[in-house]
Chain A
Amino acid sequence: MEIKTIEYSKINEKLYIYEHESGLKAFVIPKKGYSKKYASFGAHYGSINNKFIAPYEKDVTAVPDGIAHFLEHKLFEQKDGSVMDKFSVIGANPNAYTSFTQTVYLFSCTDKFSENFNLLLDYVQNPYITEESVEKEKGIIGQEIRMYEDDPNWRAFFNLLRAFYKNNPVSIDIAGTVESISKINRDNLLKCYNTFYHPSNMVILVVGDVDPESTLKMVESSIKTTEHKPQIQRIFPQDESGINKSYVEQNLSVSIPIFQMGFKDENPNTNGVEGLKQEIATKLLLDMIMGRSSSLYNELYESGLINSSFDSDYTIEENYAFSMFGGESSEPLKVRDKIMEEINAIKANGLDEKSFTRIKNATKGRFIKQLNSVERISHLFIPAYFRGALMFDYFDVYDKITFEYVNEVFSKHFREENLALSVVKPV
């Protein structure tokens, strides 16, 4: 078997890469001296993939909302009981998560890595789903949905997505609704599994103090499929221009309004290193405009309009991208106005190049900090991979971002007509 390596000497990391003949790629990032080994097996399949044409088929399949997440729950079920128990008894912590674009199965362990890794490779490739267990899971997931219904930050976030998008499936709750999951059954679960869980649509990543060669050998011997499947056709509604609504609100039992707002990006360039560049540049801009060292943040803070819960972020995926910033405020509308005022002032006076350089260096330092954690590395690596980039590229991309480029992104992103505000208000 052929193993490629890439050395990143500036940050003292090394990446081992193996490509299986099915098209699956497996990566190992050795972390010498770490106790925890963290292994992930992920599919490029998430909550937004609710319409598709399966390989070898002509017709569009539409599936109930929340099915990707439901499938994640059900994959743990095996013929001889829950695979979680098998991990548990050898001391591993198995887990999984579903996002808009990925489903990732993982475990962390400090002992018996090979046994655990084989378990992971095996159960993700071998679904065992019964009607009875599907019905039972509806009670559990129903409570997961209820928990999120009471979570004001989660609500403010999804309400903002619904303000951005009318039809884009990113605005649908990842877990679906109690109503939508009632339509999930063994057949539609298996249909999704067979469509999206082909090795060529998946990735394997191991981070920790493991031997890269023997780890990748285990991948080689455990992946059974060699067939290359035709592309899955993922069907998305046409990109809508503009935003759906500029303001949305909801009442929940909270002590103070909790808000999220942001700018929707139209036609973002999401692929590969270009996507990373756009992500980093927009995050830098958010820091420059409203980060802890900005005049705006400090004015808002000192006038009591925001507190230290205020934060910003930028998300970019295959067919959506948006910035998001918010926290708690007794007057979210005023915060919005102040932010727009500042953005207009910057449009008139220009961005500050010194801040750009300083914040870029700081962001590089913060990126290096994340390499301390095997979890953080995994959670950065997998989404970047499915977007066609390698996580360590981030570090080099910082140096490629110029002040001119940031100015260009600024003028495209921070447009008032694409700004939406979502508020969760006290009852």
Chain B
Amino acid sequence: MMSNLNSEEKVAIIDSFNGIEVYRVYADKFKTNSINIFFQDELSKENAAKNALVPAVLRRGTSRRKSSREIAFYLEELYGSAFDCAVSKKGEYQIIQFYADYVSDKYTGNNTNLFKDCLELLFEIITEPLLENGAFKKDYLEQEKDNLKKIIEGRMNDKVQYAVERCFEEMCKGEPFEIYEYGSIEDLNKIDAGSLYDHYKYILESLPMKVFISGDMEDAKIEYAIKMLKTLKRGNIKDLASPQIIKNVADTRTVTEKLDVSQGKLSIGFRTNTTPSEKDYYSLVVCNSILGGGIHSKLFQNVREKESLAYYAFSRLEKFKGLMLISCGIETANKDKAFDVIMKQIEEIRQGNISDYEYDSSFKSIKTGLESLKDSQLSIVDFYLSQKISNTTDTLKTLYEKFEAVTRDDIVAAAKKVKLDTVYFLTSK
């Protein structure tokens, strides 16, 4: 039964030096290859905005290609290769990502070496920024500060996502996890060209790096990448603290926010009190799947299908920080009813009322999800990055074996460990 998961996982660490780990993802079924470079920092008020701003400024130009326009022009010449950067948070870590992907040389119809071109472009962007008086170009800095400010203010525009993020934020007040991945406007305003350039050097020299090279390519290309990575000037590598996961919830908090909306959004946050590296974590994943992980789940079947209260209702885990969050979109007048129906579903799991259908479908759904990861290079990379970040060493195969060993009693135990923390309701004015 597990033969599929077995056959095709070929992700290997191939080198590690100067705080840089290099991974190779072997995959020959795709028509593209990709290069991902990640820097990992602690999520902190001091660094969040700066970590978000550095890649935004870097992608604006290099000493050789002085504007984003020149970079875009060059990418078009490289047969529509893509390059971009991103910031995200995983638990209480902030991740800065630089990536490039490009079509395999066999489809260009020419004698190309797009791996080399894209790798060198990534390096150029990361290591040869366009400078002005020994710091970042002022115009670019100011424009990107303004763009970042708009991103931070623009969180409210997507109400589904906003209701999820606001609940997490309220729930984790005073903990690093409350910090938005793009930082705050207050901290952003303090940044100038000089301080950001110092911060850039801090990122490059001291943050742990993980590099993933994926696709179908010769060893010589990987060796070339390693050679280049070894030229990076690195200093003392920062030791990153682990997030605090166990938390006793004294009182449940209730937060109501009013905006001009037509639909209410109810989000309910829980502490799972479970770290990704302990055995209970696998039970928790199955528990979450039964509760709100798809159409087989109790939330879908009851909040949507039975009670017609919502179009969407789901639960999801933030595994790195030990949180579980339920969210749904409802008529504002139905808040109490929806809350009761949702809480009843958790109670049902705690009581062991799990049907065969829910139980079996959850395992199937988890398995399908894991197998499906293998069809996307970015998903494979994200899976292994997440393993590294949570200090776990699971592969797709071992992970599924651990899920398969989860019993009904384990699920009940996981549900009992989950503690209600915050109820957030976005409603109309």
Contacts and interface: CB of A to CB of B under 8 A. Distances in A.
Interface of A: 10-12, 31-36, 82, 84-85, 88-94, 108-111, 136-141, 143-144, 146-147, 149-152, 251-256, 258, 291-295, 297-298, 301-302, 304, 307-308, 328, 358-359, 361-366, 368-369, 371-374, 427
A358 B77 contact: yes
Q: Which 3 A-B pairs have the closest CB atoms?
A: A139-B308, A91-B364, A365-B80
Contact of A34 (B32, B150, B151, B375): B375
B252 interface: no
A369 B31 contact: yes
A289 B375 CA distance: 34
A11 B150 CA distance: 41
A314 B212 CA distance: 35
B295 interface: yes
A138 to B, nearest CB: 8
Nearest to A144: B311
Contacts of A11: 31, 107
Contact of A362 (B79, B310, B376): B79
A253 B110 CA distance: 51
A307 B365 CA distance: 38
B157 A254 contact: yes
B112 to A, nearest CB: 10
Interface extent on B, as a size class?
35 or more
Interface of B: 4, 8, 28-32, 67-69, 72-73, 75-82, 101-103, 107-109, 139, 143, 146-147, 150-151, 153-160, 259-263, 294-296, 304-305, 308-312, 329-331, 357, 360-361, 364-365, 367-368, 371-372, 374-377
B29 A34 contact: yes
A237 B121 CA distance: 53
A143 B311 contact: yes
B368 A147 contact: no
A351 B113 CA distance: 30
Contacts, number: 196
23 contacts: A12-B31, A12-B107, A35-B375, A88-B357, A90-B364, A91-B364, A91-B365, A110-B367, A150-B261, A253-B259, A255-B156, A256-B153, A293-B75, A307-B151, A358-B73, A361-B76, A361-B77, A362-B77, A365-B102, A368-B103, A369-B32, A372-B32, A372-B377
B308 A109 contact: no
Contact of A363 (B67, B80, B376): B80
A108 B372 contact: yes
A32 B29 CA distance: 7
A109 B375 contact: no
A88 B295 contact: yes
A253 B261 contact: yes
Given A111-B364, A147-B160, 7 more contacts: A88-B294, A93-B295, A109-B368, A149-B263, A359-B76, A365-B78, A372-B32
B418 to A, nearest CB: 23
A365 B82 CA distance: 10
B311 A89 contact: no
A35 B397 CA distance: 14
Contact of A152 (B157, B329, B330): B157
A307 B32 contact: no
Contacts of A292: 68-69, 72, 75
Contacts of B364: 88-91, 111
Contacts of B361: 85, 88-89, 91
A396 B150 CA distance: 41
Contact of A143 (B4, B146, B154, B263): B263
A118 to B, nearest CB: 17
Nearest to B310: A143
A295 B69 contact: yes
Contacts of A141: 311
Contacts of B143: 301-302, 304
Contact of A35 (B68, B72, B311, B374): B374
A280 to B, nearest CB: 14
